[in-house]
Structure 1
Amino acid sequence: MKILVALLSLLAILLVALPGPLYKHQILELAPAFAALRYAVYVGIAALVLLLVQIIFMRKNISWPVTAISAVFAIVAIALPVSMMGKAKSVPPIHDISTDLVNPPNFVAIAALRADAPNPAEYAGEETAKQQREAYPELITEIYQQSSEQLFEVAQAAVNDLGWTLVNANKAAGLIEATDETTWFGFKDDVVIRISNTGEERFLDVRSKSRVGKSDLGKNAERIHTLLDAINAKL
């Protein structure tokens, strides 16, 4: 029983830990990677049930350090996928977020990088905009009094500070494009920043879009918030 519990707990944590890196290095497709996370929950639950049986009926034969480690592995294997599922249910199933929903910034240099991506470079449309308005009403065009040159330099510095890959920085067009890669699965999400002039004010819009997946688990909205916070902190 002890060996079985230990093996199940180890299997559960591996089913959580390995799918991300395996997908990131193109060893595993996305569908089986997500399936592994679901199986991790089932295996983790089985391990906890057997642990409970062990504690109740086989207490004399328990190795408490091994039992504790097995319990931690099983709990993590259950908690992480369940947390992701909960997050998915709490946000709309969209992956294209923009501060300007009427005229979203377009990808220019990045468009070619997304040529083979499941999610096209074009804006996702009015249905996505409607869901965004309900979920993230605070994401709107930012207005600044600083010069276009200063705002551009600060925005580019913020992109660099965040560790994103700068793809295009066109000061004349007021356009900055970059790619952010998630740590675990290595998902690549693209960002475009647009700075425009109107009289004495400057308007800054940001759009962030995932290359794969239907739902971004709120990551693109979070990324825009992070960028705007970094820009405002510098200003």
Structure 2
Amino acid sequence: MATSSYKSRPRGGRWPRRLAWLSVLVVIAAALLLGGAGPAHRLELVDLGAAFGLLRQGAYLALGAAVLGLATLVVASLCRRPRPALVGALVLATVAAMMVVPWQMQQRARQVPAIHDITTDMRDPPAFVALAPAREAAPNGLAYPGETTASQQREAYPDIRPLILNLPLAEAMDAAEATARQQGWELVDVGDDSLEATATTRWFGFKDDVAIRLRDVEDGVRVDVRSASRVGRSDVGTNAARIRAYLAALSRRAE
């Protein structure tokens, strides 16, 4: 009886299953830290430094989960245990999926300059007036950074230019306001030829401020936009992408 029981025991004993369960628990913990860091900061449960600390811990755990998943896959395959092997493969795939967004952000950060204030008019950027107190209280401040930022913007984002609308000023302003609301921004001030708004990023809840200015010119109404982050040296291209999306939407609406 003892010999029969021994022969029926799975190869590798409990180790493949234990490794599989451990890798699953570690990848779940990593996902909670990576996915929860942003919402925790956005809900003001932790400050920005602590949130970035959670991201680092989550990345380390994800790396550990990948090592455990690979070990599970190898051990289970050698022991001919298909279920633990499948779990190990799924853990590896999950870690890869979790790291796609951070990897993309890192690659994007290497491709764009470390600037955070983008505008279609670098000589005379639209001013923040209603948002001045919020800007002055923020680390990045109120004033436009100057020619150093402008030269970096020209090289990195040559397509960020003013938009000319073939509309009367009042109609152009109505279209500009409607398009800003369509973007989901919080409108802070709307005047006859300008508006100010705040855009909040989805994950971390970072506040980026937008100023839009309209002026009559010879061939229509010129629309200038400025989008500036309140915190962070680099916006990883977010403000340029926001201006592009806004001007494209406004152009479609005006047509």
TM over 0.5: yes
Amino acid of the structure 1 residue aligned with 2:132 = A
Task: Check if 1:207 corresponds to 2:229.
Answer: no
The corresponding residue for 2:62 is 44
Equivalence for 1:196: 215
Q: What is the distance in 2 between the residues matched to 1:87 and 1:166?
A: 29
Offset of residue 208 of structure 1? 0.2
Please tell me the residue identity of whatever aligns with 1:216: D
Identity fraction in percent: 39
Stretch deviating more after TM superposition (136-145 or 211-220): 136-145
Change (3 A) 1:83 1:36: farther
Cα offset, 1:17, TM superposition: 0.2
> Which stretch shifts more, 48-57 or 129-138?
48-57
What's the Cα RMSD here?
1.7
What's the counterpart of residue 128 of structure 1? 149
- Report the Cα offset of residue 41 of structure 1: 2.8
Deviation at 1:66, TM superposition (A): 4.2
Whole-Å Cα distance in 2 between the matches of residues 78 and 231 of structure 1?
Answer: 35
SS at match of 2:137: coil
Q: Give a deviation string over 1:38-94, Cα, whole Å, max 9, x none.
A: 333332222122212211222327446644553343223322222221111111111
Aligned to 1:166: 187
- Determine if the alignment matches structure 1 residue 183 to structure 2 residue 195: no
What is the letter of the counterpart of residue 128 of structure 1?
Answer: T
Distance 1:52 1:67, change over 3 A: closer
| 1:99 counterpart residue number | 120
Could you tell me how far apart the structure 1 residues matched to 2:76 and 2:85 are? 12
**Match of residue 5 from structure 2:** none
Counterparts in 2 of 1:7-26, with a 5 A limit? 7-26=25-44
Moved over 3 A (4+): 61-69
Offset at residue 219 of structure 1 (A) = 0.6
Task: Kindly state the Cα deviation for residue 200 of structure 1 after the two structures are TM-superposed.
Answer: 4.5
Q: Which residue number in structure 1 is paired with residue 163 of structure 2?
A: 142
1:113 is aligned, of 134, 151, 156, to 134
Structure 1: stretches of 5+ with no match in the other structure: none
Moved more, 132-141 or 114-123: 114-123
2:245 to 216, 226, 229: 226
The structure that has the greater radius of gyration is 2
Could you tell me how far apart the structure 2 residues matched to 1:209 and 1:80 are?
Answer: 23
SS at match of 1:49: helix
Contact 2:76 2:84 in 1 (8 A): no
